[in-house]
């Protein structure tokens, strides 16, 4: 079994110098980190002037950097130089104020500091005992955020006002996908138990539901969890509901499934779809789900952050009757990746499906039942100290600043929306709910939808090729639509206005016949 005793000579051949190699030598740590901070300072100062989308070709990096790992150590400055010269020019700059694609990954000084400290402490808080502070900080941060979003008390772990420990609670995961996966598995296992399935034999009878605008990862997570692809129901949406889920249609499909002997198990409701920020009606879906004993999960990855502002909170009406909700502060709450918060009304339904108890992790605290072992609410065992950065964001900025930030982004999106509406050549395709504007060049003359797609695609391509803005697209009800997402953390109104001017200019070029250039 390869005990080293058989070849002690190999140690002598690689004797270290007097000091030995110290990977966490404190002077090195300080020096490397200071250099990194200087780099970040310069990067934020200059990122505005860099092309948002780089003009590199596939394989560019391997042509710039050596393809074999070095054997000798190199000064830290070498790595920094290669980052400056080879990495930065090949980046899509999500931090650029000219980034309007996808949803922005918002960030803040407090979050980066929290992430930095956590990565230096580098603890693995799988159980409470493995890092009490990390576990409790995560619980505290989730409880705080739940309060900011006015989630019902049933989702809060340590209830305020002497309410004690509830049955619900939260966990920080990597992605919305993971939140969907663990809740799908919990719902699946509960449904299998309910129908008295022998092992997973009953799996072919379980059905799940979501609007056709639900993030594509939902289908992927259903596949991962072993649901039959044929039993994943995609409820068609239309412009009539601004692409939100139609509860009547959902009811119809679920009832038909029950009539066919199938078992409705899980419904995914989205508040703020990725494609167009459509909002599914939470309360109406919760009402329907109750009839069928189906799990309701709310995916509020992006728009959940807005619910810290009272004027947006109504989108979550009915949340007190759902089983779980997730939202990602790494999207819009200025917390760097990764940070997806999942709350469930009954943590035991999760831990029943996800608990492990190997001998080497057993400890008195876990045995006592008085602590939360967060590994039992997630996919993996190991876990980072993610609660720190989320707490630091709330602690440092307070809800006032956070609300201000959301409102400022929405106000900028409104500026853009109004500009689009004021130009006859364009149309806003669906109502703007948050800080995403879905728009396009309106078909003109005898244009078909195909022609309209070509013109709008051309606009997107030309715009993105300038390097001065980056926007993305989607397809809504058969229409090719441009997505303009406001909110990158260095963004100011002037960037929105500049992007709009550039869009106008490129549109004029295209319409005046330079399209085939």
Catalytic residues: 360
Number of residues that bind its own copies (CB under 8 A): 198
- Where would I find the H helices in 202-264? 217-224, 247-259
C-alpha 491/C-alpha 480 separation (Å) is 26
Select from 154, 172, 178, 270 the one that contacts its own copies (CB under 8 A).
Answer: 178
Select from 236, 256, 411, 515 the one that contacts its own copies (CB under 8 A).
Answer: 411
Task: Report if residue 365 touches its own copies, rule: CB under 8 A.
Answer: yes
Contact set for its own copies, span 194-233 (CB under 8 A): 199-201, 203-204, 215-217, 219-221, 223-231
Shorter beta-carbon distance to its own copies: residue 109 or 446: 109
Shorter beta-carbon distance to its own copies: residue 127 or 507: 127
Contact set for its own copies, span 449-468 (CB under 8 A): none
Q: Could you tell me if 183 and 344 are in contact, meaning their C-beta atoms sit under 8 angstroms apart? A: yes
C-alpha 115/C-alpha 105 separation (Å) is 15
Task: Report if residue 325 touches its own copies, rule: CB under 8 A.
Answer: no
Q: For the beta carbon of residue 108, count every other beta carbon within 10 angstroms.
A: 21
Shorter beta-carbon distance to its own copies: residue 134 or 250: 134
Task: Report if residue 54 touches its own copies, rule: CB under 8 A.
Answer: yes
Task: Report if residue 242 touches its own copies, rule: CB under 8 A.
Answer: yes
Query: What is the number of H-type helices and E-type strands within the chain?
Result: 16, 13
Question: What letter would DSSP give residue 213?
Answer: T
Tokens 């300080």: give the residue.
30
Select from 154, 270, 274, 305 the one that contacts its own copies (CB under 8 A).
Answer: 274
Please, how many CA atoms are within 13 Å of residue 406, restricted to the half-sphere of its CB? Answer: 25
Select from 356, 444, 451, 514 the one that contacts its own copies (CB under 8 A).
Answer: 356
Q: Could you tell me if 103 and 487 are in contact, meaning their C-beta atoms sit under 8 angstroms apart? A: yes
CB of 33 to its own copies, least distance (A): 5
CB of 515 to its own copies, least distance (A): 18
C-alpha 302/C-alpha 104 separation (Å) is 9
169: part of which helix (H) or strand (E)?
A: strand 169-173
Select from 209, 266, 295, 312 the one that contacts its own copies (CB under 8 A).
Answer: 312
Select from 51, 168, 169, 244 the one that contacts its own copies (CB under 8 A).
Answer: 244
Shorter beta-carbon distance to its own copies: residue 69 or 445: 69
Please, how many CA atoms are within 13 Å of residue 20, restricted to the half-sphere of its CB? Answer: 3
C-alpha 401/C-alpha 395 separation (Å) is 11
Shorter beta-carbon distance to its own copies: residue 313 or 511: 313
Give the three-class secondary structure for 449: helix
For the window 154-173, what string marks contact with its own copies as x by the rule CB under 8 A?
----x-x-------------
Task: Report if residue 478 touches its own copies, rule: CB under 8 A.
Answer: no
Order of strands across the sheet that contains 472-476: 426-428, 436-441, 479-485, 472-476
Q: 496-499: long-range contacts at Cβ-Cβ below 8 A with a sequence spacing of 24 or more?
A: 496/412, 496/413, 496/415, 496/416, 497/415, 497/419, 498/98, 498/468, 498/469, 499/98, 499/100, 499/416, 499/468, 499/469, 499/471
Contact set for its own copies, span 486-505 (CB under 8 A): 489-490, 492
C-alpha 24/C-alpha 248 separation (Å) is 60
CB of 281 to its own copies, least distance (A): 10
Shorter beta-carbon distance to its own copies: residue 3 or 512: 3
Select from 98, 100, 115, 416 the one that contacts its own copies (CB under 8 A).
Answer: 115
CB of 503 to its own copies, least distance (A): 18
Task: Report if residue 338 touches its own copies, rule: CB under 8 A.
Answer: yes
CB of 70 to its own copies, least distance (A): 5
Query: Applying CB under 8 A, which part among 145-153, 249-257, 290-298, 448-456 lies near its own copies?
Result: 145-153
CB of 504 to its own copies, least distance (A): 23
Contact set for its own copies, span 60-89 (CB under 8 A): 60-62, 65, 67-76, 78-79, 82-83, 86-89
Shorter beta-carbon distance to its own copies: residue 216 or 238: 216
* Residues contacting 385, CB < 8 A, separation 6+: 118, 121, 123, 125, 131, 134, 137, 138
Query: Applying CB under 8 A, which part among 124-132, 249-257, 444-452, 507-515 lies near its own copies?
Result: 124-132
Task: Report if residue 255 touches its own copies, rule: CB under 8 A.
Answer: no
Q: 387-422 vs 109-121: helix axis angle to the nearest 10?
A: 150
Select from 167, 291, 431, 494 the one that contacts its own copies (CB under 8 A).
Answer: 431
- Among 496, 434, 394, 488, which Cα is nearest to 99's? 488
Q: Read out DSSP for 62-122?
A: HHHS-SS--SS---HHHHHHHIIIIIGGG---TTSTTB-SSS-----HHHHHHHHHHHHH-
| Distance between first and last Cα of the chain | 67
Q: Could you tell me if 476 and 429 are in contact, meaning their C-beta atoms sit under 8 angstroms apart? A: yes
Contact set for its own copies, span 391-410 (CB under 8 A): 391-392, 394-401, 403-405, 407-408, 410
Select from 56, 253, 262, 283 the one that contacts its own copies (CB under 8 A).
Answer: 56
Q: Could you tell me if 179 and 171 are in contact, meaning their C-beta atoms sit under 8 angstroms apart? A: no
Select from 51, 52, 98, 143 the one that contacts its own copies (CB under 8 A).
Answer: 143
Select from 154, 177, 270, 351 the one that contacts its own copies (CB under 8 A).
Answer: 177
Query: Applying CB under 8 A, which part among 140-148, 249-257, 284-292, 508-516 lies near its own copies?
Result: 140-148
Task: Report if residue 147 touches its own copies, rule: CB under 8 A.
Answer: yes
Specify which residues 279 forms β-bridges with: 271
């Amino acid at each position: 079994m390869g005990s080293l005793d058989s070849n002690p000579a190999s140690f002598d051949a690689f004797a270290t110098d007097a000091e030995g190699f110290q990977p966490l030598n404190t002077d090195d740590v300080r020096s490397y980190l200071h250099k990194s901070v200087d780099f970040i300072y310069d990067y934020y100062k200059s990122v505005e002037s860099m092309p948002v989308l780089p003009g590199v070709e596939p394989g560019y990096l391997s042509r710039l950097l050596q393809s074999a790992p070095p054997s000798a150590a190199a000064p830290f400055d070498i790595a920094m130089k290669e980052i400056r010269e080879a990495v930065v020019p090949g980046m899509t700059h999500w931090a650029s104020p000219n980034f309007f694609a996808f949803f922005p990954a918002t960030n803040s000084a407090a979050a980066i500091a929290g992430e930095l400290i956590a990565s230096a402490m580098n603890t693995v808080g799988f159980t409470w005992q493995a890092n009490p502070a990390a576990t409790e900080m995560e619980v505290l941060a989730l409880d705080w955020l739940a309060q900011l979003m006015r989630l019902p008390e049933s989702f809060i772990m340590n209830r305020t006002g002497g309410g004690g420990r509830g049955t619900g609670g939260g966990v920080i995961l990597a992605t919305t996908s993971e939140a969907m996966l663990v809740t799908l598995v919990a719902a699946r296992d509960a449904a299998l138990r309910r129908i008295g399935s022998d092992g997973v034999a009953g799996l072919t009878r379980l059905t799940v539901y979501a609007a056709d605008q639900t993030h594509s990862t939902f289908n992927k997570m259903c596949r991962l969890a072993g649901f039959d692809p044929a039993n994943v129901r995609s409820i068609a949406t239309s412009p009539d509901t601004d692409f939100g889920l139609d509860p009547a249609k959902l009811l119809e499909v679920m009832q038909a499934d029950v009539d066919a002997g199938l078992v409705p198990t899980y419904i995914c409701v989205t508040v703020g779809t990725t494609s167009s920020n459509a909002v599914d009606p939470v309360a109406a879906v919760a009402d329907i789900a109750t009839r069928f004993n189906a799990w309701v999960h709310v995916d509020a990855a992006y728009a959940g952050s807005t619910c810290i502002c009272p004027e947006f909170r109504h989108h979550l009406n009915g949340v007190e009757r759902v089983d779980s909700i997730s939202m990602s502060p790494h999207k819009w709450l200025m917390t760097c990746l990764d940070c997806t918060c999942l709350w469930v009304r009954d943590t035991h339904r999760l831990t029943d499906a996800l608990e492990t108890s190997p001998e080497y992790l057993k400890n008195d605290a876990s045995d006592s039942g008085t602590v939360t072992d967060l590994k039992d609410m997630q996919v993996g065992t190991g876990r980072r100290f993610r609660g720190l950065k989320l707490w630091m964001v709330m602690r440092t900025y307070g809800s006032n600043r956070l609300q201000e930030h959301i409102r400022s982004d929405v106000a900028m999106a409104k500026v853009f929306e109004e500009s689009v509406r004021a130009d006859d050549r364009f149309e806003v395709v669906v109502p703007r709910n948050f800080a995403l504007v879905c728009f396009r060049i309106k078909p003109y003359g005898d244009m078909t939808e195909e022609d309209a797609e070509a013109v709008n695609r051309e606009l997107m391509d030309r715009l993105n090729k300038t390097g001065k803005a980056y926007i993305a697209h989607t397809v809504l009800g058969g229409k090719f639509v441009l997505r303009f997402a406001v909110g990158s953390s260095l963004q100011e109104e002037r960037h929105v206005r500049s992007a709009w001017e550039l869009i106008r200019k490129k549109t004029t070029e295209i319409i005046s016949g330079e399209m085939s250039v």
